[in-house]
Every structure is written in C-alpha cells, then in structure tokens.
Chain A
Amino acid sequence: MATTPTLSNFELMVMLAIIRIGDDAYGVAISNEIEETTGSEVLLGSVYDALTRLEEKGLITSRLGEATPERGGRAKRHFRTTSRGLRLVRETQRSLVKLWKGLPELKGGEV
C-alpha cells in the first residue's frame, strides 16, 4: 500500500512560498518570502534541506537555470510544485481548518 507523505511545518511553509512565488521560485526567493511572511531569519541550508526532502517525496520538481557572475558562475535551481504536491497542500489546509474550528481558546485573537 502506498503511503501518503506528510508535511512538516517548515515543509508546508516552503511549499506555500513556492506556490506564492510561481515560476521564479529558487532558494533565495523562497527564503526571502518565508522571512518576510514570518518575520524571522531562515537558514539557506534548512531551506535546501526541506527542498531536497520535498523533491524526494515527489511534491516538487526542479530544473537548473542560468548562472550569473554574482553567483560565482553557479546555476540557479528553480522549483515548482507538482500536482501531487498541490493536492497534499490542499489536504493539509483542510485538516488544519478542521482542527482550528470550534476552539474557544483561539477565538478573538487573544491567547
């Protein structure tokens, strides 16, 4: 029986950042997007670590892009979500919304 992959909190953030950025999603853009949204600094290494895991799970694909002198002649790796990845994000969202509903402690925005 094939098991459905699950997403960790950070992996979900990376997936959402890729979807938000679109075709130009590469390491720097993804980490900037997460930093701007969450307000906390992100290690590039951990972003790439999550990207590798997501690619292994078949939730994203990557292709090599152009190399520029400011990158020391190294190529960019562009990422995009697969249909399987999009489906999993939707399922995760649905599950989280279900869990969120009917929690009096979280109503009104006060903890």
Chain B
Amino acid sequence: MRQRPTPFIATWILRVFCRGPEHESVTGDLLEQYQNGKGRFWYWRQVLGIVMLALYRKVERRPLIRRQWTRITLDGPPVALPPHYALPKIEHKKEGVRAPHLHRGINTASIAGEGLEGLPGLLVMIFFVFTFASLFVPHNGQWFLVLFLLVEAGAAFLFILAGRRDRKNSDQSMKALHGINQSQDR
C-alpha cells in the first residue's frame, strides 16, 4: 500500500523537538492515524499539541526562572546570581577560585546535550504559542501573513542566537567545573 506523504514542515518540527525515544510511540501513533485517513489540519494540530506539551514538561522539570538563587561567597561580598549564568561570570572575575557549591549553578542539562532550556525554551514557547494561536484566531489578508512571517523569523533568529550563547555558557561551565575538580583534588 502506498503511503500518504505527511505535511513536511509539521513532520520536520516533530523531528526537531521530539526525537527522543520517549516520543517514538506517540510519533508512530500519529503517523498511523494519518495513514488511516486523518486530515492535514488534524496532523498539524496534533503535532503542535505534542510539541507544546513536550516543551512544557521540559520547562516544568527545569524552570526558566528559579526561585532559589545561588549564593556564592568570594573574597569580597556575597554574590547572588541566577544559577544558569553564574558560573561563566564568576570565572571571568576570579579564575581558579575555590567555590565548593559552585557546581550547583552549572546548567547540567545543557552539558548533557538536552538543549532547549532557559531562554531558548522560552523563545520556542513564544514561537509555538503564536503559531498555535494563528490557527484559531480569525484573520484576513496578506498583512497577517506578513506579521506571521516576521514574528516567526524573529523568534527563529533569537532562538539561534540564544542557542549559541547557551552552548558557549555550557562549554565555559564544563571548563570551570573541570578546574574546580582539579583544585579540589589538589
């Protein structure tokens, strides 16, 4: 039996955001339903629902803004910084400083390669909320299309920028953690 081609962009979005083994069954179910005659609109809505929920769960497990800030005492007064960005800044200020609880500030999820945490996660949420809302909010004409493309392009650009910064921070965190471990070993 010949298979119907799935909507390209929706499938691409699904591949990008839900490629882990935990999403394999839901992706398979989605394809099965689509091959059994469900429409393209149905497919799009399901994909957006799956991606939104997956992102929501990621953010829920690792909140964008933590209530508990890391308190780091250096030679001077205590410094309170958001954990995500604490380590690279401290590293620039005081190289090789001994701070036993500094490792709590490291974005371990980014180091583990999970990605889409912090600011990138927020931007992706904005991207999808806008896309999802556009399916239901009544609109007309080309102005909406222009606005839609501008917002999507802007969000995508910011996402790439934030992703690059996130990766840079993670690399710095890894180096700093390595340095702390070495100094503690000594």
Residues of A within 8 A of B (CB): 26-28, 31, 43-46, 48-49, 52, 64, 67-72, 74-77
Q: Residue B26 at the A interface, CB < 8 A?
A: yes
User: Is B25 within 8 A of A43, CB to CB?
Assistant: no
B27's partner among A26, A68, A72 (CB-CB below 8 A) is A72
Residues of chain A with a CB closer than 8 A to B52's CB: 45
User: Is A69 within 8 A of B29, CB to CB?
Assistant: no
Residues of chain A with a CB closer than 8 A to B3's CB: 69-70
Residues of chain B with a CB closer than 8 A to A44's CB: 26, 29-30, 33, 46, 49-50
A49's partner among B27, B28, B53 (CB-CB below 8 A) is B53
Total of A-B residue pairs, C-beta within 8 Å: 67
CA distance A39 to B3 in the complex (A): 29
Starting from the known contacts A44-B30, A44-B50, A70-B3, 15 additional A-B residue pairs (CB-CB under 8 Å) come to A26-B29, A43-B50, A44-B26, A45-B54, A46-B53, A48-B26, A52-B22, A67-B28, A68-B32, A71-B29, A71-B32, A74-B25, A74-B27, A74-B28, A76-B28
